[in-house]
Structure 1
Amino acid sequence: MKKVLAINSGSLSFKYKLFSFPDEKVIASGMADRVGMENAVFKIKLSNGREYIKNMPIHDQEEAVKLLIEDLKKFHVVEDLREITGIGHRIVNGGEIFKESVRVGDKELQEIFDLGELAPLHNIPEANGIKAFMNIVPNVPQVAVFDTSYHQTLDPIHYLYSIPYEYYEDYGIRKYGAHGISISYVAPRAAKMLKKNPNLVNLIVCHLGSGASVTAVKRGKSYDTSMGISPLTGVTMGTRSGDFDPSALQRLMHKTGMNIDEAIDVLNYKSGLLGISGVSSDMRDLIESKDKRAKLARKIFINRVVRYVGAYAAELGRIDAVVFTAGVGEHDPGIRAGIMSSLRYLGLEPDFKANRTDGEKFISKPKSRVKAIIVPTNEELMIAREVVRVVQ
């Protein structure tokens, strides 16, 4: 039996799942959180349901990886590291270099680091995660799985910006998209629920979390998507602004004296739900708040999603379903209800009773011409499948 580890690294954390193959069962999962801080946490959950938590300083990613390997052995999940046939890592942006998943050596690792400017919140922490695993388990194959791979089917009509063409040729300035690993799982699941051929289905996938995007899926492939050269653009997000006029950025810099890096940091880390509400970047906090700006932030979030769904409905011509996934999409009935209420003109008839609860299901009425569906995502499984494919 093969064992494959799927990793999703952040700047202060990494989440993991260990799968057995070919049955694709999760035999261990957990996370290292607040890495680099004194109050760090390491968690492991076993297939029997038991969970073990350590509260201790974890100084860097390598220490966190050592803790993971130690616990896998301690709890007899893995007796010998040779049982792990590969480790897969989610990488947000592969730029023009990486069209599909790759096995990572020193050259590929450096290229992922170099692409950091395209996804500053993601690529660098993810590359550091790969580096840590390469140092601790050097004999286990490391595989990079890219969100942008799914969007390789975009037409130039959709991925080019209306700027001098040589900037694309010389510097790769174009739309790359994100959340492709998630959509590559969600779209076929939705097609199965609809009892349609996954290569013929037309969907609008709303991946709504702290990072959020809307993607038009035409005949089973990415057709257009809201995120651009980086995950900053598109709909309003937790701390990211979404679409923002560059002239407004210029004015902001002139008025405040900020340089370009400081201004972009504001758009990445201090904007979105956090910037509008002044309360939190977390939808759960905004639901509980009675503050007018908190309520406004939720309304703006709904509006921006509806705006993109409407645009993609016009592009696709025919829609089979609007799909909700990721943290907010899967667990916030109020956001789903707000979006669906604005889409009745498409022939979507919401089932507000079904919408009150979560889980994989239809949340539109049976006779609704356009369906609404919740599909919980499973990025880790898609990463693990890619590891098996690449290593084989």
Structure 2
Amino acid sequence: MSESKVFRIFVVNPGSTSTKVEFFENEKSVLEGNVFHDSAILKNFPTINDQLDYRMEYVKKWLNDNNIDLTGVDAIVGRGGACYPIEGGTYEVDDRLVNDIREAKGGVYHSSMLGVQMAKQLHDEFGGRLLMVDPIVVDEYQDVARITGVKGIYRTSATHALNLRATAHKYAKSVGKKYNEMNLIVCHIDGGITITAHQHGRMIDANDGSGGDGPMTPTRMGTMAVTDVLTKLMDRPKEEIRSLCLATGGLSSWFGTSNSDTIHDLVEAGDAKATLIWNAMIYQITKWIGSMACVLHGKVDGIVLTGGLMRFQDVYDGINEACGWIAPVASYPGELEHEAMRAAALRVLRGEEQAKTYPGKPRFEGFDYL
């Protein structure tokens, strides 16, 4: 397919506290938009799926306000949610994939489960290819990383795979190396936080960012002792506990808002509570980075930081001070998710890559010998 043809691509990317969209013509970004959703509003919805119409209203309003007509669009790409865990890549979206994400077959209840659903609604109205790229349940774990202390229960992969891998590629290029030849610790630091170990192109371990595992975040409670959860939260409804893992925990629990700018303003003003909680979040991030250095046996070529919170210099400084002895620390504020989704769609549209078919079953289903 000739690169002279102009392909029109629209991407939909719901995050924990925002809905982001962008319209492309080939590699060119025509227009992008970002709507912030305060957790105080989102918590009024019983489930994440119940947010679908609310978020779709904002997307359609954005299209209308900016006079963007998607009629004849070549591809609509939705951020991939928790289908069954699968290998990375670009997938053609079918009804089975939409339903498995809606039902969170991958066990992760996260706002990303709305991405493909929103894209499907737009696809039904405007047409075009319907695609998904590197969903949050990309599973490349090494076997030893799957084991827990309870027989039959295995650790699962739930990360910001799309942005993590795109940023890792960018860092590798910046130092004149290939991603699949490096060992990297790559961290997405925003409303959700995932700390991942990449060994020669495979993401071999990470915290389960949507399951209450890892550092606390603006919206997530992070790792707590199971006994504390049982004794102090056992009288609360299951959905409320799940919400603490994804939407109303972390900074939101402490301050009643997940707005990082509001909380950071308090830090800069010298507020003692805000300073302690903010620094505790950074402290927890550095502990997880240290653990991933051990996963890679200390052979780390770089620590790569990305995500919205990297716009705050003190977040970088705190991580660099604690972890700079491990490997050089590089920061890429914001996300490369849209560029990764656009690039993948363009490769498929140009015939450079074949879109994969969703298998409808998990990549890992247990060990035969255990």
Cα offsets for 1:146-186 (capped at 9, x unmatched): 4336x432112113433222x5xxxxx53112111001210
Specify which structure has the bigger relative contact order, considering alpha-carbon pairs within 8 angstroms and separated by 6 or more residues: 2
Give the structure 2 partner of residue 47 of structure 1. Answer: none
Pick closer, same or farther for the CA change 1:153–1:28 going to 2, 3 Å. Answer: same
The structural deviation recorded for 1:341 is: 1.1
Answering whether residue 211 of structure 2 is matched by residue 206 of structure 1, we say no
Aligned with 1:204: secondary structure?
strand
Answering whether residue 305 of structure 2 is matched by residue 324 of structure 1, we say yes
Within 2, Cα distance between the matches of 1:11 and 1:338? 24
Give the structure 2 partner of residue 3 of structure 1. Answer: 8
AA of the residue aligned to 1:336: Y
Q: Is the 8 A contact 2:158 2:207 kept in 1?
A: yes
Of residues 51, 72, 80, the one that matches 1:91 is 80
Give the structure 2 partner of residue 28 of structure 1. Answer: 31
Pick closer, same or farther for the CA change 1:278–1:30 going to 2, 3 Å. Answer: closer
Q: Is the 8 A contact 2:183 2:300 kept in 1?
A: yes
AA of the residue aligned to 1:27: V
The structural deviation recorded for 1:68 is: 5.0
Of residues 143, 146, 158, the one that matches 1:159 is 146
Cα offsets for 1:177-216 (capped at 9, x unmatched): 2111001210111111222222211211121111111111
AA of the residue aligned to 1:258: R
Answering whether residue 243 of structure 2 is matched by residue 265 of structure 1, we say yes
Normalised TM-score (structure 2): 0.78
Q: Is the 8 A contact 2:182 2:301 kept in 1?
A: yes
Greater CA deviation, 234-243 or 212-221?
212-221
Q: Is the 8 A contact 2:9 2:74 kept in 1?
A: yes
Pick closer, same or farther for the CA change 1:386–1:345 going to 2, 3 Å. Answer: closer
Q: Which of structures 1 and 2 has the bigger CA Rg?
A: 1
Pick closer, same or farther for the CA change 1:13–1:214 going to 2, 3 Å. Answer: closer
Aligned with 1:216: secondary structure?
strand
Within 2, Cα distance between the matches of 1:34 and 1:152? 29
Pick closer, same or farther for the CA change 1:246–1:339 going to 2, 3 Å. Answer: same
Give the structure 1 partner of residue 165 of structure 2. Answer: 184
Give the structure 2 partner of residue 341 of structure 1. Answer: 321
Answering whether residue 237 of structure 2 is matched by residue 248 of structure 1, we say no
The structural deviation recorded for 1:279 is: 5.8
Q: Is the 8 A contact 1:116 1:122 kept in 2?
A: no
Pick closer, same or farther for the CA change 1:219–1:162 going to 2, 3 Å. Answer: same
Q: Is the 8 A contact 1:253 1:260 kept in 2?
A: no
Give aligned-pair identity as a percent: 20
Give the structure 2 partner of residue 359 of structure 1. Answer: none
The structural deviation recorded for 1:108 is: 2.0
Aligned with 1:342: secondary structure?
helix
The structural deviation recorded for 1:342 is: 1.3
Give the structure 2 partner of residue 299 of structure 1. Answer: 279
Pick closer, same or farther for the CA change 1:154–1:332 going to 2, 3 Å. Answer: same
Q: Is the 8 A contact 1:7 1:16 kept in 2?
A: yes
Of residues 269, 285, 289, the one that matches 1:309 is 289
Unaligned residue ranges in structure 2 (runs of 5+): 1-5, 39-51, 352-370
4+ aligned runs moved over 6 Å, structure 1: none
Query: Within 5 Å, which residues of 2 pair with 1:361-372?
Result: 370-372=327-329
Within 2, Cα distance between the matches of 1:294 and 1:204? 28
Within 1, Cα distance between the matches of 2:179 and 2:207? 22
Q: Is the 8 A contact 2:14 2:112 kept in 1?
A: no
Answering whether residue 71 of structure 2 is matched by residue 81 of structure 1, we say yes
The structural deviation recorded for 1:231 is: 4.9
Give the structure 2 partner of residue 366 of structure 1. Answer: none
Q: Is the 8 A contact 1:94 1:146 kept in 2?
A: no
Aligned with 2:119: secondary structure?
helix
Aligned with 1:294: secondary structure?
helix
Cα offsets for 1:89-146 (capped at 9, x unmatched): 1123233367543222322211111117733231443344134213322x22211224
Q: RMSD across aligned C-alpha pairs, in angstroms?
A: 2.9
Pick closer, same or farther for the CA change 1:341–1:60 going to 2, 3 Å. Answer: closer
Pick closer, same or farther for the CA change 1:62–1:262 going to 2, 3 Å. Answer: closer
Q: Is the 8 A contact 2:83 2:106 kept in 1?
A: no
Of residues 365, 370, 373, the one that matches 2:330 is 373
Q: What is the count of residue pairs matched by the alignment?
A: 328
Pick closer, same or farther for the CA change 1:388–1:344 going to 2, 3 Å. Answer: closer
AA of the residue aligned to 1:215: T
Q: Is the 8 A contact 1:93 1:178 kept in 2?
A: no
Aligned with 1:19: secondary structure?
strand
Cα offsets for 1:326-372 (capped at 9, x unmatched): 1112x1111111111112543xxxxxxxxxxxxxxxxxxxxxxx212
Q: Is the 8 A contact 1:115 1:123 kept in 2?
A: no
Q: Is the 8 A contact 1:189 1:375 kept in 2?
A: no
Pick closer, same or farther for the CA change 1:7–1:309 going to 2, 3 Å. Answer: same
The structural deviation recorded for 1:299 is: 1.6
Pick closer, same or farther for the CA change 1:158–1:134 going to 2, 3 Å. Answer: same
Within 2, Cα distance between the matches of 1:102 and 1:242? 31
The structural deviation recorded for 1:8 is: 0.6
Within 2, Cα distance between the matches of 1:141 and 1:111? 19
Give the structure 2 partner of residue 388 of structure 1. Answer: 346
Cα offsets for 1:216-240 (capped at 9, x unmatched): 1122321211225x35321111121
Within 1, Cα distance between the matches of 2:17 and 2:194? 23
Unaligned residue ranges in structure 1 (runs of 5+): 36-57, 168-172, 347-369
Within 2, Cα distance between the matches of 1:59 and 1:253? 31
